[in-house]
Amino acid sequence: MTISRRHYHITTFGCQMNKADSERMAGILEDMGFEWSEDPNQADVILYNTCTIRDNAEQKVYSYLGRQAKRKHEQPDLTLVVAGCVAQQEGEALLRRVPELDLVMGPQHANRLKDLLQQVFDGNQIVATEPIHIIEDITKPRRDSKVTAWVNVIYGCNERCTYCVVPSVRGVEQSRTPEAIRAEIEELGRQGYKEITLLGQNIDAYGRDLPGVTPEGRHQHTFTDLLYYVHDVPGVERIRFATSHPRYFTERLIRACAELPKVCEHFHIPFQSGDNEVLKRMARGYTHEKYRRIIDTIRGYMPDAAISADAIVGFPTETEAQFENTLKLVEDIGFDQLNTAAYSPRPGTPAAVWENQLSEEVKSDRLQRLNHLVAIKAAERSQRYMGRLEEVLVEDQNPKDKTQVMGRTRTNRLTFFNGDINELKGKLVKVKITEVRAFSLTGEPVEVREMASV
């Protein structure tokens, strides 16, 4: 008799933290003998790794869940798991809303998936949302890419931005030790990964919770120290990081990025608003003048650096004039990319219960006007690549044109060129840029760089 293998499916919503958590949870499931199924309807275990940053992200989860909950009535041995930020926010309330669920688990419990599932297979319905110390990641993630990889450096967030659910769903800041981070990157280097992105909701906070102070009274482990500590790992050619908070961004960090050849010239530093009064109400802890100084300093050291950010329009009480200050900041700085969102009131956050919430019409009008400007500025920024030689790390085939491969420049611009993915995957190729668009480039390959094997 042949026993067919059991299958799992994961759908991931939300940010890079969730994607990294999903890769680790997939690793755990494979370790338990499950096989990946692209189609959720063929899976025995379905896991939704959820996001609650805005209301529409949360609602999407409920519609997916509704469909699978129905299926469970025909297939009672189906295991339904909700992980991530909606799970943490709703906890037991989620079980009341969807009684078919077997497991509700917050992001801090991702590494405990095997344990939790075993309790489910023993016949229990489980909610795991209590705050815990995140156990060091000893699992082998099942990574989506063979070329680029995420490495968590700090979990959680201790900020209290008045619009944001992240601190309540991700918990307090917990830094991994420099040794554990370096060991993971070394393993990635040995496996042939060429690019790593160091991850944290507020990566500048790295190390504040680790013991040790220098003779000058500085924390011994800052994010800048971490960059120096990991930058020479053999095999890894590029290092990126996200997300930076303007309140803590230092010149020392900027200098390190300029000095360390593998650290890419791309900075993701959300500003949220270009108006000081709004920034104060958001409790962001900086002014637009300080933000501009940071960008000036970056450009002083690295004139060609790419700058991206996040911004929110229609924060409660935001006036037309205050919104125009955001437009002005975008106009002046010229972002390479900007993630924009209309303010969405979130449960348990201070701003959600303030009076003077703006209408959906005003919010969507401002969002459209901002997006229009963002596209114009990004197209202007793209112009500088025309005719230039750019180093592109090849990640994949272009899904829309199989004769092309795609990858990113050091500054994170998506770039396409003719080539065979089997030959070029994971290679650094000098590409002459022949076509520019707002958010991507096309070019001709000139030279493939030889890389030492590790």
Q: Which residues would be at the binding site for ligand SAH (CB under 6 A)? A: 53-54, 163-164, 166, 201-202, 243, 245, 270, 272, 310, 312, 341, 343-344, 346
Whether the Cβ atoms of residue 79 and residue 43 lie closer than 8 Å to each other: no
The residue count of the chain comes to: 454
Element (H, E) at 63: helix 55-74
Instruction: Let me know if 64 is exposed, middle or buried by CB neighbors in 10 A (0-12, 13-18, 19+).
Output: middle
Q: Which is nearer to ligand SAH, 110 or 164 (CB)?
A: 164
Q: In what order do the strands lie in the sheet with 148-152?
A: 148-152, 195-199, 238-242
Site string for ligand F3S, 3-22 (x = CB under 6 A): -----------xx-xx----
Residue 305's Cβ-side half-sphere holds a number of Cα atoms within 13 Å equal to 25
Tell how strand 103-105 and strand 79-83 pair up. Answer: parallel
Q: Which is nearer to ligand SF4, 162 or 404 (CB)?
A: 162
CB of 142 to ligand SAH, least distance (A): 25
* First-last CA distance in the chain: 44
Whether the Cβ atoms of residue 404 and residue 398 lie closer than 8 Å to each other: yes
Q: Which is nearer to ligand F3S, 159 or 277 (CB)?
A: 159
Contact of residue 167 among ligand F3S, ligand SAH, ligand SF4, none (CB under 5-8 Å per partner type) = ligand SF4
Contact of residue 382 among ligand SAH, ligand SF4, ligand F3S, none (CB under 5-8 Å per partner type) = none
Whether the Cβ atoms of residue 426 and residue 394 lie closer than 8 Å to each other: yes
Q: What is the DSSP letter of 106?
A: -
List residues binding ligand SF4 (CB under 6 A).
Answer: 157, 159, 161, 164, 166-167, 201-202, 245
CB of 337 to ligand SF4, least distance (A): 18
Assess 170 for contact with ligand F3S (CB under 6 A): yes
Segment interacting with ligand F3S, rule: CB under 6 A, options 108-116, 161-169, 267-275, 412-420: 161-169
Contact of residue 51 among ligand SAH, ligand SF4, ligand F3S, none (CB under 5-8 Å per partner type) = ligand F3S
Distance CA 153, CA 113 (A): 20
Distance CA 448, CA 426 (A): 11
CB of 248 to ligand SAH, least distance (A): 11
Q: Nearest 10 degrees: CA dihedral of 149, 154, 157, 158?
A: -160
Q: Which is nearer to ligand SAH, 7 or 366 (CB)?
A: 366
Contact of residue 341 among ligand SF4, ligand SAH, ligand F3S, none (CB under 5-8 Å per partner type) = ligand SAH
Contact of residue 14 among ligand F3S, ligand SAH, ligand SF4, none (CB under 5-8 Å per partner type) = ligand F3S
**Exposed e or buried b per residue across 86-99, where buried means at least 16 C-beta atoms within 10 angstroms of its C-beta:** bbbbbbeebbeebe
Tell how far CA 301 is from the center of its chain. 26
CB of 221 to ligand F3S, least distance (A): 23
Q: In what order do the strands lie in the sheet with 306-313?
A: 266-268, 306-313, 337-342
CB of 82 to ligand F3S, least distance (A): 13
Q: Which is nearer to ligand F3S, 51 or 311 (CB)?
A: 51
Q: For residues 55-84, which are near ligand F3S according to CB under 6 A?
A: 84
Contact residues: ligand F3S, CB under 6 A:
14-15, 17-18, 51-53, 84-85, 165-166, 169-170
